[in-house]
A and B are shown apart, each in its own frame.
Chain A
């Protein structure tokens, strides 16, 4: 049976003055299915809304068309009106007769307004209601990693009442945090002991994920430990696997040719230099030290920080002459400009050049040649120790993790965030998050921000033990689906899987929990089996037909 459609026109308190509303009402009333047409001047205000509700109830209207301002402006209000009147809020279609009609044209636009209303009427007839339902989720969280950010995350999650498992591949927690501790002056040890005594936190060391299945709210994870394998269920997964650094020397061709000459020289990494600084029994203190950064890797926030800290420490301890070769000093994080100034005030010399310096050996010392842009001259420096440039990379195993969880990585291998504008710590798969060094070159302030914001998001998803979702926003028709797997391949959210129906046929099924309603699958499905509610082909074609008829 044809649904009863109610059309509500609004003249916006007289602001729409080039439409002949009386004529429009007469024409609209003749459209098939339209059982009542109302003209109002204040539809969005309380009085107008109440009138709308009583009209919907009184006339038993089943679908609603509102012809008024832009849906951007007031659509949410009209959806609420439908809900209050006892209709599903998806059975509404809006015709924008203000911004896209009255205000865009001079002269009488009644005809266009009627056309827009006709389109909306044709669409609303085909709209389908969408039900909401609360689906249960598992409240436990898996945090992968054992360093500063992972420990901090589990502690904060425990504070909001969520139980967590900390999964570390090494035998102990807190490996590799010494460098950070020395730069920022904090103590990971006390944090790790807090983790160990917290009743909400389970620590699994020497353990690795081997298989991950399921979706947000219900991930099943196979974990391999020394004793064997266990299968666990989690509602969300947080990756805090950190970064590693690698000497950039290997990637420079001119160096490789002279490898032999260089091998015996004192070329060290930042970490090795840290050790030298800590070693009191050094035979000879280096008189001249060279540092290098920002030539091969633009992501040099961390190496810049390491250089400034190490240079200052060396200056204080040994009083050495220090020369820093770089392209740009990356000071776009908290406190860095101050540190940079402090280093210069202490006598550390910064030499900026566009091209990477040439490194050769001379009498057992490292010879650095660079063209300094300020002096406009070649600078040649022979130094006792060269702290070479480091590349900032995701920690080992990131590739493996990304394929296990089927999440993407960027061109440098870091985990790729779903929305760079809005939410840099979420993956494209709902319920999987990443924090700190494994997602990019971050300073401590940004890492701390990452941690707390992930805690908030995880809490929002899992704390109540259920998530409210709209059911079947996007649905695959099992009759039409030919199981070609196209949708499964393109879905960025991992929301589609094959299920067996009627005992034999396998068809695609879209999870309401994991689906983000992006519509890619509906657009690409070769069998046209996937429908995106509100934007189905029929609904779009019906609107086009409306203008062809007139």
Chain B
């Protein structure tokens, strides 16, 4: 059957932007998300404001998500993935598989009684991260005694709204939609792949994402090893960008590293911060001024270190080439932050196979041609956000809106063609 509904795959900021635009234009939208909460990566980023806003855009995400959740035109399916696809533009049939979430998001009032009473350690039922939507508690099957065959029923008994149910089974359903927007986002580069930088081995080597989450959770930065305030921090750029396996610039790392450095300097001006880089990407509105502001107080070093070692005292020895002296130097830092880049999603290959869309040689979904920004090789399937290539939050939002625009234009065109026939 012909359908004017649109399926948006992935509920990160670009998927949410697409869904909202279409919904506001009166289109019925299915928004599916493989995780239990919507928002993707961007929902977990921290505010990087100092005494003034640093325009990192992390704050706009939660509002957008909330808007999408309460929009009457958007049907939200969490814990869901695509299993199969049939049909064509104007009449796609999508098989969806939805895993049960065991906690009814409509009924959960986030009172916390279940977590309090849960006997496991760590708890098997817990709240999602602070800005999560829906803010419904999450039951971890792996930890829950019930799923290990025991008869524990404490959380269900304590729940005042009877939101918990263990018997739920995964559901399959078929959606009939006119167009599909793929907004599956990216995976953060796994810094363990760069073994010489010591991530995963040395506790004081963190990634940019770790730092984001520390600031979201705690609001300030402490050393993972001893809880003391770091005095001397190094940021290393282009970890997982512009190297052998990644023939592209991730576009966000210079900006987030500088903004995080600004935030650290604001919280404690005595902290020493160094940023090791290849080329600083100081493009975009107002960013050159931002660089000017921190040029003096932050040490910018051209060249990217190749090795980090931990000394006996627990400090991190960073080996790099000091270009001004023309020799290899060793500097000690107590914290090293790896500015990890944007990698294509690990599940892209599966999704590309199911949907029949092409992958580009860098692993992101491929556009139809150089003059299209959202179209794929399949009519009626569009790309939004970082699944097509690295983008920052505003670019992802704009790209999501553009995908909605293209989907709407194509549906309008196919409808008028049918009327003509």
The reply to whether A452 and B406 form a contact with Cβ atoms under 8 Å apart is yes
Looking across the interface, which residue of chain A has its beta carbon closest to that of B250?
A332
Least Cβ–Cβ distance between B293 and chain A, in angstroms: 13
Q: A331-B279, A337-B242 are in contact. Are A184 and B370 (CB under 8 A)?
A: yes
- Cα A459 to Cα B402 in complex, Å, equals 12
Least Cβ–Cβ distance between A378 and chain B, in angstroms: 14
The reply to whether A376 and B323 form a contact with Cβ atoms under 8 Å apart is yes
Least Cβ–Cβ distance between B214 and chain A, in angstroms: 22
Contacts of A105 in B (CB 8 A): none
| Pairs across A and B, CB under 8 Å, 24 listed | A13-B109, A14-B111, A42-B161, A328-B280, A331-B279, A332-B251, A333-B251, A336-B249, A338-B248, A373-B324, A376-B325, A420-B57, A421-B59, A422-B60, A422-B397, A424-B394, A448-B372, A448-B402, A449-B402, A450-B398, A453-B398, A456-B21, A456-B401, A460-B24
The reply to whether B60 and A453 form a contact with Cβ atoms under 8 Å apart is no
Which stretch of A155-163, A221-229, A509-517 is in the interface?
A: A155-163
Contacts of B282 in A (CB 8 A): 298, 328, 330
Which stretch of A240-248, A253-261, A383-391, A438-446 is in the interface?
A: A438-446
The reply to whether B283 and A332 form a contact with Cβ atoms under 8 Å apart is yes
Least Cβ–Cβ distance between A414 and chain B, in angstroms: 8
The reply to whether A159 and B409 form a contact with Cβ atoms under 8 Å apart is yes
The reply to whether B394 and A422 form a contact with Cβ atoms under 8 Å apart is yes
- Cα A161 to Cα B419 in complex, Å, equals 15
Contacts of B64 in A (CB 8 A): 422
A-B contact number at CB 8 A: 172
- Cα A480 to Cα B109 in complex, Å, equals 47
Q: A186-B371, A336-B249, A452-B401 are in contact. Are A160 and B160 (CB under 8 A)?
A: no
Known: A424-B285, A449-B395. 9 other contacts (CB 8 A): A41-B160, A42-B160, A332-B251, A333-B251, A420-B55, A423-B394, A449-B373, A453-B405, A456-B408
Contacts of B302 in A (CB 8 A): 352, 373
The reply to whether A338 and B25 form a contact with Cβ atoms under 8 Å apart is no
Does A12 belong to the interface (CB within 8 Å)? yes
- Cα A445 to Cα B390 in complex, Å, equals 12
| B residues 358-417 in Cβ contact with A at 8 Å | 370-374, 389, 393-395, 397-399, 401-406, 408-409, 412-413
The reply to whether A440 and B281 form a contact with Cβ atoms under 8 Å apart is no
The reply to whether B160 and A15 form a contact with Cβ atoms under 8 Å apart is yes
The reply to whether A13 and B160 form a contact with Cβ atoms under 8 Å apart is yes
Sort A-B residue pairs by CB-CB distance and give the 8 closest, nearest first: A13-B160, A15-B111, A452-B402, A298-B288, A456-B405, A448-B373, A453-B401, A328-B279
Q: A376-B324, A445-B373 are in contact. Are A457 and B279 (CB under 8 A)?
A: no
Does A127 belong to the interface (CB within 8 Å)? no
Contacts of A186 in B (CB 8 A): 370-371
- Cα A45 to Cα B106 in complex, Å, equals 8
The count of chain B contact residues (Cβ–Cβ below 8 Å) is 65
Does A22 belong to the interface (CB within 8 Å)? no
| Of the residues A335, A411, A421, A440, contact of B57 by C-beta under 8 Å | A421
Contacts of B149 in A (CB 8 A): none
- With most chain B CB atoms within 10 A of its CB, the pick from A44, A161, A341, A455 is A455
The reply to whether B395 and A446 form a contact with Cβ atoms under 8 Å apart is yes
| A residues 474-497 in Cβ contact with B at 8 Å | none
Least Cβ–Cβ distance between B16 and chain A, in angstroms: 12
- Cα A457 to Cα B405 in complex, Å, equals 9
Contacts of B285 in A (CB 8 A): 410, 414, 417, 420, 424, 440
Q: A338-B248, A420-B394, A456-B404 are in contact. Are A329 and B25 (CB under 8 A)?
A: no
Contacts of B288 in A (CB 8 A): 298-299
The reply to whether B394 and A185 form a contact with Cβ atoms under 8 Å apart is no
Q: Please give the residue numbers on chain A whose beta carbons come within 8 Å of chain B beta carbons, in ascending order.
A: 12-15, 41-42, 44-45, 69, 73, 76, 156, 159-161, 184-186, 298-301, 328-338, 341, 352, 373-374, 376, 410-411, 414, 417, 420-425, 440-441, 444-446, 448-453, 455-457, 459-460, 463
- Cα A41 to Cα B24 in complex, Å, equals 34
Contacts of A421 in B (CB 8 A): 55, 57, 59-60, 393-394
Q: A14-B160, A337-B247 are in contact. Are A298 and B409 (CB under 8 A)?
A: no
- Cα A301 to Cα B393 in complex, Å, equals 19
- Cα A411 to Cα B324 in complex, Å, equals 34
| Of the residues A13, A42, A459, contact of B405 by C-beta under 8 Å | A459
- Cα A225 to Cα B323 in complex, Å, equals 60
Contacts of A330 in B (CB 8 A): 279, 281-283
Q: A76-B70, A337-B247 are in contact. Are A452 and B283 (CB under 8 A)?
A: no
The reply to whether A45 and B398 form a contact with Cβ atoms under 8 Å apart is no
| B residues 248-268 in Cβ contact with A at 8 Å | 248-249, 251, 254
- Cα A445 to Cα B402 in complex, Å, equals 11
The reply to whether B161 and A334 form a contact with Cβ atoms under 8 Å apart is no
Contacts of B287 in A (CB 8 A): 298
Contacts of B281 in A (CB 8 A): 328, 330-332
The reply to whether B59 and A331 form a contact with Cβ atoms under 8 Å apart is no
Least Cβ–Cβ distance between A243 and chain B, in angstroms: 14
Q: Is the interface of A mostly helix, strand, loop or mixed?
A: loop
Least Cβ–Cβ distance between A150 and chain B, in angstroms: 15
Does B284 belong to the interface (CB within 8 Å)? yes
| B residues 70-90 in Cβ contact with A at 8 Å | 70
Does B127 belong to the interface (CB within 8 Å)? no
Contacts of A446 in B (CB 8 A): 395, 398
Looking across the interface, which residue of chain B has its beta carbon closest to that of A11?
B160
Least Cβ–Cβ distance between B414 and chain A, in angstroms: 11
The reply to whether A425 and B398 form a contact with Cβ atoms under 8 Å apart is yes
Q: A14-B113, A15-B111, A330-B279 are in contact. Are A341 and B247 (CB under 8 A)?
A: yes
- Cα A18 to Cα B153 in complex, Å, equals 26
Looking across the interface, which residue of chain B has its beta carbon closest to that of A302?
B283
- With most chain B CB atoms within 10 A of its CB, the pick from A333, A410, A456 is A456
| Of the residues A159, A332, A423, contact of B249 by C-beta under 8 Å | A332
Contacts of A156 in B (CB 8 A): 405, 409
The reply to whether A423 and B25 form a contact with Cβ atoms under 8 Å apart is no
The reply to whether A15 and B249 form a contact with Cβ atoms under 8 Å apart is no
Looking across the interface, which residue of chain B has its beta carbon closest to that of A15?
B111
Does B326 belong to the interface (CB within 8 Å)? yes
Looking across the interface, which residue of chain B has its beta carbon closest to that of A161?
B412
The reply to whether A45 and B161 form a contact with Cβ atoms under 8 Å apart is yes
Contacts of B413 in A (CB 8 A): 159
Does B286 belong to the interface (CB within 8 Å)? yes
Contacts of A76 in B (CB 8 A): 70
| B residues 17-58 in Cβ contact with A at 8 Å | 21, 24-25, 55, 57
The reply to whether B279 and A453 form a contact with Cβ atoms under 8 Å apart is no
The reply to whether A452 and B160 form a contact with Cβ atoms under 8 Å apart is no
- Cα A452 to Cα B397 in complex, Å, equals 12
The reply to whether B402 and A453 form a contact with Cβ atoms under 8 Å apart is yes
Contacts of B406 in A (CB 8 A): 452
- With most chain A CB atoms within 10 A of its CB, the pick from B24, B106, B397, B401 is B401
- Cα A298 to Cα B159 in complex, Å, equals 57
Least Cβ–Cβ distance between B366 and chain A, in angstroms: 12
Contacts of A334 in B (CB 8 A): 248, 389
- Cα A184 to Cα B159 in complex, Å, equals 60
- Cα A422 to Cα B42 in complex, Å, equals 13
Looking across the interface, which residue of chain A has its beta carbon closest to that of B160?
A13
